[in-house]
Amino acid sequence: MSVDRAQLQILIRDLGAIPPAVHRTLRPVVLDAGRPVLAQMRSNASWSSRIPAAISMRASGKAAGVQFRVSAAQAPHARPYEGLSGSPFRAPLWGDREWWYPHDARPFFYRAVEEGADEVVERLGDAVEGAAARHGF
C-alpha cells in the first residue's frame, strides 16, 4: 500500500475533531490494531540485542492513531541501520575508531509499517465507524 502523505494529514486533522469521549473508547482498539506492527518491527530487528527493546508504541493523543518510536538513548545505532543515513554507512567495528568499515542497512521500522498498514487501517476504520455510530455520528 502506498500512503499519500497529504491524505494522511487530512485524516489526522479530521480525526482530531472527534470528541474526547470517543477517543477514550477508541484507545484500546488503536493499541490492539498496532500490536502486530510492533511485533513485526521487533522481529525485523531481532538481529540486534538492543533495538527490539527500544521500540515502543502508544496511542496518539489528538487523533485516532498509533505512534511508534525507537529510543535513541537505548539504541543509538537504530537510525543508521534503518537506512536513514544512507546505505551502506560507515562505522567503526568493535570500537576501533582508527578503521571504519561499510555496513549495510537492515531496515526494520518502515518495512513493518508498510507491511501492516492495510490491516491497521482496516481495523481502525471499523473501530472509528463503530465508535461514531455508538456516539450518534
Q: What are phi and psi of 130, to 5 degrees?
A: -65, -45
What's the pTM value of the predicted model, to 2 decimals?
0.70
Count how many domains the chain has.
Answer: 1
Q: What's the pLDDT band for 4 if we cut at 50, 70, 90? A: low
Report residue 88 as a C-alpha cell. 551502506
Residue 50 lies in a domain: yes
**pLDDT(87) > 80:** no
Residue 11 lies in a domain: yes
Domain residue limits at 33: 5-132
Mean pLDDT value across residues 67-86: 84
Residue 137 lies in a domain: no
Distance CA 107, CA 104 (A): 9
Angle at 4 between CA 123 and CA 85, to 5 degrees: 105
